[in-house]
DNA sequence: CTGAAAGCGCTTACAG
DNA sequence: CTGAAAGCGCTTACAG
């Protein structure tokens, strides 16, 4: 690879000058500049960011740690991250942790070694070993999806979302509302569950039989491709086939909602005439189900963008003391299943 | 940040020794090793990969350029890439190009500057400016999804997939097979289209009225979030509402197939009794539609893994002359829509 | 506006 | 088994 030295030599200037031409904003005589640029092009010179970093201490690089890019909320978030990162001059490393502490630690180490300027971490896990700040070794971190004490975070108001969904369901006269809940070990699902229980109890509508536990992604996490046998579907099928009386379903997320739609069809229940179904996330597919799915929209793309802004802000002002906690509101999206 | 020098000083050894401890496989007296390791831990030392690279010339980093991670085939591919990369000791940079030459060139430049060991590029575009090898400046590249002359590639047999789908449809007596085709500017869609036409003509079944052009992702590419108005749906709705006679639908991909399912429902056509519907890709959602979608499976996860293997192979043997072209077979996946 | 020099954090022959 | 030294490709005060 051609280096700054090759270019300097051929252009008959010092390497300092070449460096100045490529670092921008520093004054170089226009004629010299042109000369250097043309030689550089001729030699296919590409400035070595690695060498550059060693002096400047700036890698302009962000590590993104998410559970699994195949969970459909993450492509949207990651796209938001990448778009904003690009705009601010950063590149991103993508790492899938499968919600496993060991893998997360591996990547935190690796990213530290890569001297990333900062880390964006998505973990729903409540276990503290995922969120032990001391392990980040001084690298700026922003947490998305779930709030972590002492760290900047960008989250979504899960409880508020459930409120919106339930108010809507209740207004249309539904009272026997099933909750298909995700694992309580994952913070956002826990929040949704708690909000549901609180609301149902407040209205004296709560009945534990209305709650079914679901493994939203056949997890599947950590396995090669997702498994084809659909655990969540089986769980739901068993639950609904049991003769339970209900008139609405509030699903842990859109994917689960979609499975419920299929089961309602199989059970001969009309949606929304016999039972209303509402999802959570407003992921792409929710527009395409039959009928199109009502759901609670999370601003996923915005979460990604915001996380990068916060992170860069933290990188530039590492000593700001208070952790910034941004919480987005959800929006009720009415389509044809409610 | 603590450096190798800090550790050496405190441990009372030279930096060479510390370096040897961390680079593995080199003989260091066990006692010295322990000493260094414990000091390193105490000081929270993390070896600086950037400094390391500058001598070794090894970044162990791969740039992944894809059109848009929100296109549901890419999360699976990227997961395959990441899993294999991790196994081989590489990290990945993720870049979304939106199929735009300017953005692709930007990223190729950036990745060169980052001194990635290699590049994995997914572009369906047929325009040669996307695939002009000379622009890669000597960085090893493997192309996925589409074959590019002179470059290692990992692809899938699109024509073969269409054959499988059509044979299946024909065997069940379907003759008026609609093709919902993606834009011909994208290589895989072009291949599928050509295979369809060839087969239909061979059987004297070809009728241009059976072909409808569809914009598979409302593209949407390059826009902030995907647009909510569903262009593909509108296009298909108009097409099918026209009184055309048909008994099967072969869709450009699973997402399009899903939209067709919805339209069949709206048109009062029973699937598969009145019309058979078959998709392409075997993306996650295809198991969840009502009824579950028959489709042509692409080994997406395998494509990702294989691409990394090929790339690393090329990195290790840059002078191997022939470009390796791996082409995976598709598999017919029968569910309930055919 | 430009150049010579020091140094960022490592690795790696070369001696011993 | 260990250390001293050179050098990877840059940036950046310091002089001029």
Chain B contact set for A285 (CB, 8 A):
258, 285
- How distant is C1' of D5 from CA of A5, in Å? 22
Domain span at B245? 158-297
Q: Is the pLDDT of residue B228 over 60?
A: no
Q: How far separated are the first and last CA of chain A, in Å rounded?
A: 62
Q: What is the model's pLDDT at position B99?
A: 86
| pLDDT, averaged across chain B | 89
State the nucleotide closest to B17 in CA–C1' terms. Answer: D2
The answer to whether B262 touches A288, Cβ cutoff 8 Å, is: yes
Same domain, A322 and A287: no
Same domain, B163 and B141: no
Q: What is the model's pLDDT at position A190?
A: 93
Q: What is the model's pLDDT at position A225?
A: 43
Contact A137 B44 (CB under 8 A): yes
B335 within a domain of the structure (yes/no): no
Q: What is the C-alpha separation between A39 and A10, in angstroms, rounded? A: 7
Least confident of A117-131, A186-200, A314-328, B94-108: A117-131
Same domain, A230 and A162: yes
Q: Is the pLDDT of residue A132 over 80?
A: no
Instruction: List Cβ neighbours of A200 (8 Å cut-off, separation of 6 or more).
Output: A166, A177, A206, A207, A210
- How distant is C1' of D9 from CA of A48, in Å? 7
- How distant is C1' of C4 from CA of A14, in Å? 9
The answer to whether A91 touches A61, Cβ cutoff 8 Å, is: yes
Q: What is the model's pLDDT at position B175?
A: 95
List B residues 107-146 in contact with A (Cβ-Cβ < 8 A): 109-110, 112-115, 137-138
| pLDDT, averaged across chain A | 89
Same domain, B139 and B191: no
Q: Is the pLDDT of residue A226 over 60?
A: no
Q: What is the model's pLDDT at position B148?
A: 86
Instruction: Please compute the mean of the pLDDT values over residues A116-122 and round it to a whole number.
Output: 95
Q: Is the pLDDT of residue B224 over 50?
A: no
Same domain, B106 and B197: no
At residue A312, φ and ψ (nearest 5 deg) are -65, -35
- How distant is C1' of C11 from CA of B48, in Å? 12
Least confident of B144-148, B318-322, B334-338: B318-322
In Å, how far is A174's CA from the nearest CA of chain B?
Answer: 25
Instruction: List Cβ neighbours of A31 (8 Å cut-off, separation of 6 or more).
Output: none
Same domain, A77 and A114: yes
Tens digits of residue pLDDT in A170-214: 999 999 999 999 999 888 999 999 999 999 999 999 999 999 999
Same domain, B197 and B292: yes
Q: What is the 3-state secondary structure (H, E, C) of A165-206?
A: HHHHHHHCCCCCEEEEECCCCEHHHHHHHHHHHHHHHHCCCC
Q: What is the model's pLDDT at position B138?
A: 82
B255 within a domain of the structure (yes/no): yes
B338 within a domain of the structure (yes/no): no
With bands split at pLDDT 50, 70 and 90, how would you rate the model's confidence at A335?
very high
List A residues 199-228 in contact with B (Cβ-Cβ < 8 A): 224-226, 228
In Å, how far is B79's CA from the nearest CA of chain A?
Answer: 7
- Nearest residue to C6 via alpha carbon and C1': A55
Least confident of A274-288, B14-28, B211-225, B300-314: B211-225
Within 10 A of A5 (CB to CB), how many other CB atoms are there? 11
Same domain, A196 and A247: yes
With bands split at pLDDT 50, 70 and 90, how would you rate the model's confidence at A220?
very low
B78 within a domain of the structure (yes/no): yes
With bands split at pLDDT 50, 70 and 90, how would you rate the model's confidence at B226?
very low
B322 within a domain of the structure (yes/no): yes
Same domain, B275 and B186: yes
pTM of the predicted protein model = 0.94
Domain with residue A17: its CATH number is 1.10.260.40
Same domain, A282 and A229: yes
DSSP string over B66-128: ES-TTSTHHHHHHHHHHHHHHHTT-EEEEEE-TT-HHHHHHHHHHHHHTT-SEEEEE--B-SG
Instruction: Please compute the mean of the pLDDT values over residues A149-159 and round it to a whole number.
Output: 93
B115 touches strand C (CB under 7 A): no
Instruction: Please compute the mean of the pLDDT values over residues A59-64 and round it to a whole number.
Output: 94
Least confident of A224-238, B103-117, B158-172, B237-251: A224-238
B53 within a domain of the structure (yes/no): no
Instruction: Please compute the mean of the pLDDT values over residues A305-327 and round it to a whole number.
Output: 89
How many domains in chain B?
A: 3
Q: What is the model's pLDDT at position B127?
A: 65
Nearest CA-CA partner of B281 in B244, B324, B331: B331
In Å, how far is A77's CA from the nearest CA of chain B?
Answer: 9
A124 within a domain of the structure (yes/no): yes
Least confident of A165-174, A312-321, B91-100: A312-321
A336 within a domain of the structure (yes/no): no
Q: What is the model's pLDDT at position A30?
A: 86
Token digits for A278?
A: 């509402």
What residue spans of B12-72 are helical by DSSP H?
15-22, 30-42, 49-56
DSSP string over B128-178: GGGT-GGGGTT--EEEESS--TTSEEEEE-HHHHHHHHHHHHHHTT---EE
Q: What is the model's pLDDT at position A219?
A: 46
List A residues 300-319 in contact with B (Cβ-Cβ < 8 A): 300-301
Q: What is the model's pLDDT at position A128?
A: 63
Same domain, A90 and A23: no
Nearest residue in B to A222, CA atom: B83
Least confident of A4-8, A44-48, B25-29, B202-206: B25-29
Q: Is the pLDDT of residue B77 over 70?
A: yes
Same domain, A131 and A95: yes
Q: What is the model's pLDDT at position B220?
A: 41
Instruction: Please compute the mean of the pLDDT values over residues B122-131 and round it to a whole number.
Output: 71
Domain with residue B236: its CATH number is 3.40.50.2300
């Amino acid at each position: 690879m051609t280096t700054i030295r090759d270019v300097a030599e051929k252009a008959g200037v010092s390497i300092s000058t070449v460096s100045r031409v490529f670092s921008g904003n520093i004054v170089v005589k226009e004629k010299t500049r042109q000369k250097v640029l043309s030689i550089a092009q001729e030699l296919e010179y590409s400035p070595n960011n690695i060498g550059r970093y060693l002096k400047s201490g700036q890698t302009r690089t962000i590590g993104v740690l998410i559970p699994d890019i195949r969970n459909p909320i993450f492509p949207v978030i990651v796209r938001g991250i990448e778009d904003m990162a690009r705009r601010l001059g950063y590149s991103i490393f993508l790492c899938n942790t499968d919600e496993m502490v060991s893998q997360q630690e591996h990547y935190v180490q690796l990213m530290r070694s890569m001297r990333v300027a900062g880390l964006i971490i998505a973990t729903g896990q409540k276990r503290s070993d995922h969120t032990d700040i001391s392990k980040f070794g001084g690298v700026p971190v922003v947490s998305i999806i779930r709030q972590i004490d002492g760290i900047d975070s960008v989250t979504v108001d899960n409880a508020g979302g459930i409120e919106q969904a339930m108010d809507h369901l209740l207004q249309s006269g539904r009272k026997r509302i099933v909750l298909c809940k995700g694992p309580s070990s994952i913070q956002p699902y826990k929040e949704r569950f708690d909000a549901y229980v609180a609301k149902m109890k407040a209205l004296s509508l709560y009945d534990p039989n209305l709650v079914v536990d679901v493994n939203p992604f056949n997890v599947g996490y950590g396995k090669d491709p997702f498994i084809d046998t659909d655990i969540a579907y089986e769980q739901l099928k068993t639950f609904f086939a049991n003769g339970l009386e209900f008139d609405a379903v509030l699903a842990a997320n859109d994917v689960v909602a979609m499975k419920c739609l299929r089961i309602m069809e199989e059970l001969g229940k009309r949606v929304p005439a016999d039972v209303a179904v509402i999802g959570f996330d407003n992921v792409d597919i929710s527009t395409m189900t039959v009928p199109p799915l009502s759901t609670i929209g999370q601003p996923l793309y915005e979460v990604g963008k915001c996380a990068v802004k916060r992170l860069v802000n933290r990188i530039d002002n590492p000593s700001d003391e208070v952790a910034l906690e941004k919480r987005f509101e959800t929006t009720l999206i009415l389509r044809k299943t409610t």
